[in-house]
Structure 1
Amino acid sequence: MPSDERDGDVDEPDVSFVVPARNEGDYLRGTLGSLAALDTDYAAEVIVVDGDSSDDTRAIAREYGATVLQEGGSSIAVARNMGADRATGEWLAFVDADTRVRANYLTELLGFVEANGLAAASSYCRITGPHRSVLMELTINHVFSRLERPILPGFNCLVHRRAFEEIGGFPEVANEDTAFSRALARRLPTAYCPNVLVESSGRRIADQGLTGTLWHYLSLDVERLRAEY
């Protein structure tokens, strides 16, 4: 069983933020700081699922009063599902440890899903880092969002708990967020809020270049298709 450290409690949260993290000490403080700065009347809790970090990830999570779950680092899908299982909110918001939400994130995105009768949604994003990160940003905002079954990236996905449970959470396959999005959209309505509500790091592009990054995700998607998701 995973260990569970809880330093802060939120009574009956509307939303549970689930943040998978492994050796994310350089980024996590920015993510949790943005969640602490949300300007909203909705109540939220934050769950950090630590993937056996060797840096100060857990200490930073405790510093911000997050619930800390420890997971062996097997996969990001396992971490997200573990966080969802521990969560108590009606809505689950999945963000990554290098994602910063804007202050109006919850008010805008929850208002959008409720106004449109959606089971899940993402929003437009900004990818920080090298100039070539703009291509990934444009792909997410103007390609993923227009698909018949929109791809809701794991770094920015809000889903109702019942919908999440209905499809069994994130499958343990490559490109788990694509597989999750497609399974969800086959049964329930999903969409993109056309406002920029998060910023995510373009660090992979900085490290591997645009071509290397595209090849990485293409390889993962081939694995997903081979797994028949």
Structure 2
Amino acid sequence: MVAASIIIPVRNEARQLPELLAGLQRLRNQGCELILVDGGSTDASLDLAREQVDQLLTSPRGRAWQMNTGAQAAQGEWLFFLHADTRLTPAAEARLMQLATSPTPAWGRFDVVIQGRHPLLFLVAGLMNARSRLTGIATGDQLMFMHSSLYQAVGGFPDQPLMEDVEISKRLKKLRKPLSCQEKVITSGRRWDEQGFWRTVGLMWSLRWRYWRGVSAQQLVKDYYS
């Protein structure tokens, strides 16, 4: 019996996958299904994952599409959506297994720690967690999860290239209040390290502000990748 399905959307993540998938084998041995959904990798991602997951799928590029592809194939009643650069702490693993045995449908996310070079990344993580707790909006970095019945009730992730996590959170909030798990997951600060700390902070807050003001995800994605 599958306790839960962990769905990992990837594209050219060969550097991240060995450590990520090795760490997830503990959960796999406890009955969790690992589903990796590739969005067109040109590196060794598919070869590295082939023996380490239960399902290896492909889909068009884009996290929303990839996560929906994984969810539609999932055998577990609980769906956990994990980014390739996010790692679970032992406390988060234990909480995930606790959730996976709960008979009560729910949705939510975990608190996050950002691992990187800049000394203020702890502040960014703290503000992210506080904002999420206050607004009820989860982000992909925070290991979003939901019971499959709630996923189906909102029609899965919206067909958009950015802010899919924000949009599905808004829809799920109408059904019930999210769980804010205080157990930590560790996500990479590589964007802040590679593209500049203040530039990245400004970009992230600007995108969220503009999305709240009604700017389309199709327009925002152009700024995100530029």
Shift of 1:195: 2.1
Q: TM-score, normalised by structure 1?
A: 0.83
CA contact (8 A) 1:15 1:91 kept: yes
| AA matched with 2:21 | L
The question of 1:209 aligning with 2:209 is answered no
Matched with 1:14 is 3
Deviates more, 1:219-228 or 1:123-132: 219-228
Q: Which of these residues, 140, 145, 153, is aligned with residue 154 of structure 1?
A: 140
Quote the offset at 1:178 in angstroms.
1.1
Report how far residue 219 of structure 1 moved: 4.5
Match of 1:32 among 1, 21, 40: 21
Does the 8 Å contact 1:18/1:84 carry over to 2? yes
Q: Identity of aligned pairs, percent?
A: 29
**Alpha-carbon spacing, 1:112–1:38, altered in 2? closer, same or farther (3 Å):** closer
Cα displacement (A) at 1:123: 1.5
**Superposition RMSD on alpha carbons, in Å?**
2.4
Measured after TM superposition, the shift of residue 132 of structure 1 is 2.6
Q: Indicate yes or no: 2:68 matched with 1:81.
A: yes
Task: Give unmatched runs, 5+ long, in structure 2.
Answer: 218-226
Is 2:45 the counterpart of 1:62? no
Shift of 1:76: 0.9
Which stretches of structure 1, 4 residues or longer, exceed 4 Å deviation after superposition? Answer: 112-118
Post-superposition offset of 1:104? 4.0
Which residue matches 1:180? 168
Report the CA distance shift for 1:66/1:154 in structure 2 as closer, same or farther (over 3 A).
Answer: same
Counterpart of 2:79 (choices 92, 102, 106) is 92
Pairwise CA distance, 1:111: 3.1
Match for residue 90 of structure 2 among 103, 109, 122: 103
1:166 equivalent to 2:157? Answer: no
Secondary structure of the equivalent of 2:81?
A: strand
Displacement of 1:18 in angstroms is 0.4
2:207 aligned with 1:220: yes
* Helix, strand or coil at the partner of 1:89: coil
Aligned to 2:35: 47
> Residue 193 of structure 1 is aligned with which of 163, 181, 184?
181
**Which residue identity lines up with residue 181 of structure 1 in the other structure?**
S
Give 1 or 2: higher helix fraction: 2
Is the contact between residue 109 and residue 121 of structure 1 (CA under 8 Å) also seen in structure 2?
no
State the distance in 2 between where 1:115 and 1:89 align: 12
**Cα deviation 1:103-152 (Å, max 9, x = unaligned):** 343431453687795611211121101223222211222221232xx122
Contact conserved, 2:33 with 2:53, CA < 8 A, in 1?
A: no
Closer, same or farther: CA 209–56 of 1 in aligned 2, 3 Å: same
Contact 1:118 1:188 in 2 (8 A): no
Count of residue pairs brought into register by the alignment? 212
SS at match of 1:25: coil
Q: For structure 1, list consecutive stretches of 5 or more residues without a partner in the other structure.
A: 1-11
